[in-house]
Homo-oligomer: A and B are copies of this chain.
Amino acid sequence: MALKVIKPERRRLADEVYDQLLTAITSGDIGPDDRLVQEKLAAEMQISRTPIREALLRLEQEGVLATSPRGGFVLYRMDEGEVKELYQARAAIEGQAARILAHHNDPQINAMIRRTIETEEDIASPTVRAYFEANRKIHRRFVELVNNRYLLEMFDSIWNRAVSFQLFAAIENADLSKSLGDHMALLEAIETGDKGHALEVFTDHIQAGFELQLEGLAGG
């Protein structure tokens, strides 16, 4: 007798709502002008306000949403100073990840990263969104392979805050071939096995992204 285990999978409606909202934000379905009101969402999803409320509060706490003075929630909007701070936080997490990976310098792991870069950089239609997602997946791969749930959690937290305005996506007409080289350079920095060096290279890469971002904001 070999029956499948039924996953306890404590999946509540609130989780479902949370995922749907985040997806809608990522896809741009929920934009800066939309006001999310508990009752409206509840009616639309045909459930009660309770799980809706839970998901909204969670997203607020995570810095994705903010309360609107007129009631309801709206996408959280960062000013330039906050963007800079977010990039610094990114550098903290990804820099440390790079340090650890360089310390291990495991050929198998490095190969896995290389494969991810190659796969993800092969973008069919180079829109900002597509580039953002590819970029996210590549950077996430580095952190994933450190095998540290807290670093990964913080990584996701940081990138989720950026999701609504495709921060970290560099600018519209980003030179993808150059970016490919950049990502490979990150990997090569790890392969030197020099912790300090790997951290510096990552930090510089992120810093460069920040400056591109600023130009993009100023230009657009």
Contact = CB atoms under 8 A, between A and B. Distances in A.
Interface of A: 10, 54, 57-58, 61, 67, 82, 85-86, 88-89, 91-93, 95-97, 100, 146, 148-151, 154, 157-158, 196, 199-200
Top 5 nearest A-B pairs by Cβ distance?
A92-B96, A89-B150, A85-B148, A92-B92, A85-B150
Contact of A88 (B57, B151, B200): B151
A95 B58 CA distance: 29
Nearest to A199: B199
Contacts of A91: 96
- The copy count of this chain in the complex is 2
Given A57-B54, A196-B200, A200-B196, A100 B82 contact: no
A154 B85 CA distance: 12
Contacts of A82: 149
Contact of A96 (B57, B95, B196): B95
Nearest to A8: B69
B196 A85 contact: no
Contact of A58 (B10, B61, B67, B154): B61
B89 A154 contact: yes
Given A89-B150, A95-B95, 11 more contacts: A54-B54, A85-B148, A86-B150, A88-B100, A88-B151, A89-B151, A92-B97, A92-B154, A150-B158, A154-B157, A199-B199
A148 B10 contact: no
Q: Which residue, A67, A86, A154, A157, has most C-beta atoms of chain B within 10 A?
A: A154
Contacts of A149: 82, 85
Contact of A196 (B58, B150, B196): B196
B96 A148 contact: no
A196 B54 CA distance: 43
Nearest to A50: B50
Nearest to A85: B148
Contacts of A89: 96, 148, 150-151, 154
A158 to B, nearest CB: 7
A154 B151 contact: no
